[in-house]
Amino acid sequence: MLASAGVVDGQKKFGDSSYYFKHQLLFGVLPGLALTYLFSKIDYKVWRKLSLPILFGALVLLILVFVPGIGLTLKGARSWILIAGQTFQPAEFLKLALVIYFAAWFGGKEDRTNNWAYGIVPFLMVIGFIGILLMLQPDLGTLVVVVAIAMGVYFVAGVKLKDFAILALVGIIIFASLIVFEPYRLNRIKALINPSADPRGISYQVNQSLIAIGSGGLFGVGYGNSTQKHGFLPETIGDSIFAVIVEELGLLGGVLTLGLFTSLGIFLSSIAKGTSDKFARLYVMGITTWIMTQTVINIAAITGIAPLTGLPLPFISYGGTALMALLASLGIVFNIARKA
């Protein structure tokens, strides 16, 4: 689907209609599968011991985006760094680092879920520091996923529902404040409430995506035959790729895509349930939360159910760093599954 969705944009920007497909294959799929294989062979308990250095390294990379000459500003966000001529998005590996760190933090011998001084306060300090770095970029979409990962691991670790509800309420208030005081984020809420208010402005992307989805019907217009990707639908290789899938493969293609993600979620949850190691269980559920949260937000936004966030669709949207991080995370899951 990426090969189809990127045809027009690839030809226009690089003179090669298959540019995005080849770039994703060489800098996403192949290195990602290599990491999957490598990590599947490493005892997962090693990651628990290295959780703090891994988190520290991820934070250093996240800070590098603000260093002149290293950090890059693309699509209005300073979220990339340039390494050996290739762009790299540190936030993607930060997600994996956080899953490892929080699984180790709450999976230790001490019960930290109900200890505010020793468990919850350090947990909130880490999230707060990362939140500041992400909002300076700014990247609210990634922050939503990061908070979801943290809360997911925290919940599975055995938190009291009262404490969890308090933290969730505080989080909602903070996110609402971030939206209200930033005009372009508030405009996305307005576009969600009334998509017809400004179809050529703030509501343009969601309207074009709905046109694509509606055009697909039951069986789609045929693979490669999307008309919306010809300059009408923004970000066809990114957060809008699900609209192209449904336009070309129809409702059946959309349901199949949802079915694949659902199957993956069930598969991961069964692995978590099958292990007696608390770190392993929290890690797998953290990965599950990451993938499923990002999937739900992406598809809900592009179908007009939630405001647009710019989050890519896991495994399918263009982005080598994101794909490598996801495949690497599954490598650790496979090692856990083998030992469970």
Global model pTM greater than 0.75? yes
Per-residue confidence (pLDDT) for residue 116, from 0 to 100? 63
pLDDT in tens, 70-86: 888 877 778 888 877 77
Residue 249 gets the label, from left (phi > 0), alpha (psi -120 to 50) or beta, of alpha
> For residue 304, what are the contacts with CB-CB under 8 A and spacing of at least 6?
192, 195, 206, 209, 210
Average pLDDT value for residue range 95-103? 95
Cα 240 from Cα 245, distance rounded (Å): 9
Helix (H) or strand (E) holding 85: none
Cα 95 from Cα 273, distance rounded (Å): 22
Q: Where along the chain do its domains lie? A: 2-339
Residue 258 has pLDDT above 90, yes or no: yes
Q: Which two tokens stand for residue 192?
A: 């969600």
> For residue 309, what are the contacts with CB-CB under 8 A and spacing of at least 6?
140, 141, 144, 188, 239, 297, 298, 301
Residue 288 has pLDDT above 80, yes or no: yes
pLDDT in tens, 156-205: 888 778 778 888 888 888 878 877 777 767 777 777 777 777 677 778 88
Highest mean pLDDT among 65-79, 134-148, 325-339: 325-339
Q: Which residues of 1-17 are buried (b: 16+ CB within 10 A; e: fewer)?
A: bbbbbbbbbbeeeeeeb
Per-residue confidence (pLDDT) for residue 119, from 0 to 100? 63
Per-residue confidence (pLDDT) for residue 290, from 0 to 100? 96
Q: Which of 57, 44, 286 is nearest to 150 (CA)?
A: 286
Cα 305 from Cα 313, distance rounded (Å): 16
**Whole-number Cα distances in Å, 18 to 37, 95, 199, 243:** 27, 29, 31, 20
Residue 117 has pLDDT above 70, yes or no: no
Range with lowest mean pLDDT among 109-123, 264-278, 317-331: 109-123
